[in-house]
Amino acid sequence: MDDASGISFPGLTHGQLRVLARYQSKILDLANRQIQPGVEARTLHNFINLQYAYCFWGLIPGSLSNEESPFNECSHAYLAASKELLERLKKNDDTRARANALADEINLAMLEDSQALAICAHSFEPFNTAQIIMPAWADTSFNPLGLLLGFFVLMASAAGFVTMRSA
């Protein structure tokens, strides 16, 4: 059963992901500058950080551009939350002016990006801060990027084991 107790927010088109990914750090920096962040802004910020970590910090190649990537839906979630956080920052007295300027900059970038309206399977999916979206691990065995990730995790685990044994 889905938990709808959190903050709900709309998804993004596939093309909007790429644009928002370029501005995510600016949105989070602005959120960090709030003098008295509201509960909803803090909730969204925490969700973004957690969701971003579950998505391996956007480091998996193709997680934004490849709709078939096991990390695509996960990426949609943290970037859609980033856009929603920016909307909340526009309502906060101490971040309003900078948030509006940043939103204008993002909107212009989306208008200039010919792919900003491209859609995918996750484009119209609403999200909720009470529901963390995990990567589609079941799909990783059939995805070459998933195999690369598996190899990376295996090697990191082996290095950690060797380091612990030698200490």
Segment 141-155 mean pLDDT: 64
Strand extents, DSSP E, the chain: 8-9, 127-128
What's the pLDDT at 82?
Answer: 97
pTM of the entire predicted model = 0.78
Q: What is the mean pLDDT of the chain?
A: 84
Instruction: Specify the number of domains making up the chain.
Output: 1
pLDDT at 38 over 80: yes
Minimum mean pLDDT among 9-23, 73-87, 96-110: which range? Answer: 9-23
Q: Does 164 fall in a domain?
A: no
Is the pLDDT score of 22 beyond 60? yes
Whether residue 159 lies inside any domain: the answer is no
Q: Residue 14: name the closest of 107, 106, 104, 125 by CA.
A: 125
Statement: residue 89 has pLDDT above 90: yes
Tens of pLDDT, residues 93-146: 999 999 999 999 999 998 888 776 666 666 677 899 999 999 877 765 555 665
- Residue 156 counted as domain residue: no
Would you say 66 and 135 are in contact if contact means Cβ atoms under 8 Å apart?
A: no
Stretch among 26-30, 83-87, 102-106, 148-152 having the lowest mean pLDDT: 148-152
Does residue 109 lie in a domain region?
A: yes
Q: Would you say residue 26 lies in a domain?
A: yes
Q: Is residue 166 part of a domain?
A: no
Question: Which residues, listed in sequence order, are joined to residue 128 by a DSSP beta bridge?
Answer: 8
Do the domain assignments include residue 2? no
Provide the domain limits for residue 59: 8-134
Q: Which residues pair with 9 in a beta bridge?
A: 127
Residues 6+ apart with CB under 8 A from 8: 126, 127, 128
